Structure 1
Amino acid sequence: MSKYLLNKFLYTVDRDPELVERYREDPRGTVAWWEAERANQLLNCHTGEASTWLAFDDPEREALVAHDYVKLFELGAHPFLTLTLFIAAFERDHAEPLGFQKEYALRLQHFSLPYPDIAT
């Protein structure tokens, strides 16, 4: 498992409105494309340098595909990165203000300290 790669996905997709929409509408295709095309690019590096070994494991991939932010939290994804991406993707589906944030808190309320380790 690579918490780094998981957080990198959340970070990079959240910063591109087109990728947010693509992830919302076609999560399996977006995750597969991102893993093949972007996972091994170095962050903030535009010189063509890349690594060759990073890949999601099955639980990470399936949690991303299912938009399962509870599982992502359990796997150690950073909660701020998860929350911001899922707000961008799903806040519009809630009628009340802060509707998604309230749902997020409700679905994660069973966690108690210490939270899963988010160190990468």
Structure 2
Amino acid sequence: MSALNRSATGAALALCQDAYGNMMGGQEARAFAYLKLAISVLTAANESADSRGDIRAEKALKDAIDSALDAVDTLEPPFDPSLMDAATAKWEKLGISPAGVLPTVTL
């Protein structure tokens, strides 16, 4: 796997994890925005893989990664912490948790 493809899959994974975390926290609009960014990176990665080394496709992939990561800084709507408790309870009731999907921090 090329370094650029590794960057693409790493960026897409991080965006998907952000989407999952936002969904768990009741931030559905933000979650969909993260998923849209991840899909744009993965689409460019597929096109690059199919191009057999075409430099234009590789440049498009790098641009897609950079664009997606830049977009994270201006993502709308802003995170609304008031939605977290109800969303967490909803997902727990359904047996859905971040375990195994999101990194955990042990203090």
TM-score, normalised to structure 2's length? 0.26
More helix by share: 2
TM-score, normalised to structure 1's length? 0.24
